[in-house]
Structure 1
Amino acid sequence: MTIACLHTAASNIALFDAAAAACGARSSALSHLVMPHWLEEAEQSGGMTSQQQQRLAQWLRTLLPWFDAILITCSTLGAVADDFPAGPAGCPVYRTDRMLAQAVHQLQGRTQVLCAAESTLASTRRLFCPPALPLASQPAVQLIPGAWAAFKAGRQDEYHVLIAAAVREARQQGADHVALAQVSMAAALPHIDAASQPLTIPRLALAQVFAQRPR
């Protein structure tokens, strides 16, 4: 199978390639499409407008005949995947942060969801803490101050250190599970000890897709 990964940051390519290898997939299983201008437009307008969503949906429809599945890896663009109709060949379009949220909702115990980008905090809370989910079962969603500013400024080491520190703090405060809400946050895993490894989007999303469709 061939999976198209729609990214808005080129740095996410390596994270998904590593996740595919960990899942035992062939190197050609992923096709990466890096489209930073979609995120830039959304940020300039304070979030995706209905017109931007329509244009993105129309562009995605042109990809459906060519792939077995499409993953939208950017949290800001992810809402376009909600209720997106499958193409004529049955190509589903996934919102990867929703895949993580669904996995979190199946966990027992206390879960802390860490968010790096303030612009996605509200949508992340809506995704991970829907009104239909009992209050006692809802995870806590926490923004990591300064993380996104470090990422956008190219200070990757600082970005990773801030995430690792937030994971440690969540564990110290009693979280049974920790989840990282943005794809780019998975790059911090080498800075986190093995016993405290959080759930991350790349490996979880690919594992789910590969489980549903042959490789």
Structure 2
Amino acid sequence: MTIACLHTAASNIAIFDQAAQSLGMQPTQLSHIVMPHLLAEAESTGGMTALQQHNLEQFLHSLTPWFDAIVITCSTLGPVADGFTAQGNHCAVYRSDRLLADEVHRLPGKALVLCAAESTLAATRALFCPPGVPVEQLPEVQLIPGAWAAFKAGKHDDYHRLIAQAVEQGKQQGAATVALAQVSMTAAASHCATPPLTSPHLALRHCLR
């Protein structure tokens, strides 16, 4: 199986490579495509516009003949995977945060979902809190103030520290499960006393199955 990961941050490459190694995947099975301008465009318009979504769909169609699966690792771009159908081939397109949401919905107890980037907040709430889910089963979705500014400034230690603090605070306030909605947040898990749920391992495992 060959899997392509579509990233908007180059730092996500190492995160997915590590997850692939933990699953016993061969290096030739995983490819990375990094397109930071797609996130920059979405952030400039307060989220993806219809035109941006159309352009991304066309790009995905150009990739599908070459891979068995494509994983969109950016939560802002992820909604494009919903309802996407490859034309004339077997390639499936997934959003890594949906596979994380499925895991959150399966687990009992109060759940907290943390976001770092404001541009992904609406898409994350729509994904983790869909219509029809009983109120008592809906997770709480929170934005971590200052986290994304630290990431964009290259202050990754501060970024991870802010995320770890938010995880611990959520646990102290009674969350049975804390999930990190964005792939770039994954490295912060090693700074937490109780590791939160993250999407890279879940996404690759799902593709392999």
Q: Name the amino acid aligned to 1:179.
A: A
- Amino acid paired to 1:201: S
> Is residue 45 of structure 2 the alignment partner of residue 45 of structure 1?
yes
- Measure the CA separation in 1 of the matches of 2:97 and 2:126: 11
Amino acid paired to 1:64: T
| Alpha-carbon separation, structure 2, partners of 1:52 and 1:120 | 15
- Counterpart amino acid of residue 149 in structure 1: A
Q: Shift in Å at residue 179 of structure 1?
A: 0.4
Task: Render the CA deviation track for 1:104-143: whole Å, top value 9, x for unaligned.
Answer: 1111111111111112112211110112111111111111
**3-state secondary structure, aligned to 1:141:** strand
Which runs of 5 or more residues in structure 1 are unaligned?
none
Contact 2:42/2:119 (8 A) holds in 1: no
Q: Offset at 1:157? A: 0.1
What TM-score results when the alignment is normalised by the length of structure 1?
A: 0.94
> Matched residues in 2 for 1:23 and 1:191: separation?
22
Q: Tell me which residue corresponds to 2:19.
A: 19
Which residue of the partner structure matches residue 79 of structure 1? 79
Deviation at 1:87, TM superposition (A): 3.7
Aligned structure 1 segments of 4 or more residues deviating by more than 6 angstroms: none
Rounded Cα–Cα distance in structure 1 between residues aligned with 2:41 and 2:8: 11
Alignment of 1:4-153 (within 5 A): 4-153=4-153
Question: Where in structure 2 are the equivalents of 1:165-180 lying within 5 Å?
Answer: 165-180=165-180
Alignment-mate amino acid for residue 203 of structure 1: H
- TM-score when normalising by structure 2: 0.97
CA distance in 1, matches of 2:167, 2:16: 21
Deviates more, 1:152-161 or 1:47-56: 47-56
SS in 1 for 2:88: coil
Aligned to 1:206: 204
Instruction: Determine the structure 2 residue equivalent to 1:181.
Output: 181
Structure 1: distance between partners of 2:177 and 2:39: 29
Instruction: Give the corresponding residue for 2:190.
Output: 190
Return the letter of the residue paired with 2:111.
Answer: T
How far off is 1:154 after superposition? 0.6
Q: What is the distance in 2 between the residues matched to 1:27 and 1:76?
A: 27
Query: Kindly, what percent of the aligned residue pairs are identical?
Result: 64
Aligned length: 209
Let me know the Cα RMSD of the aligned residues: 1.0
1:73 partner amino acid: T
- Say which SS state the counterpart of residue 93 (structure 1) adopts: strand
Which residue identity lines up with residue 4 of structure 1 in the other structure? A
Determine helix, strand or coil for the equivalent of 2:28: helix
Structure-to-structure mapping, 1:150-169, within 5 angstroms: 150-169=150-169
SS in 1 for 2:201: helix
Partners of 1:119 and 1:70 in 2: CA distance: 22
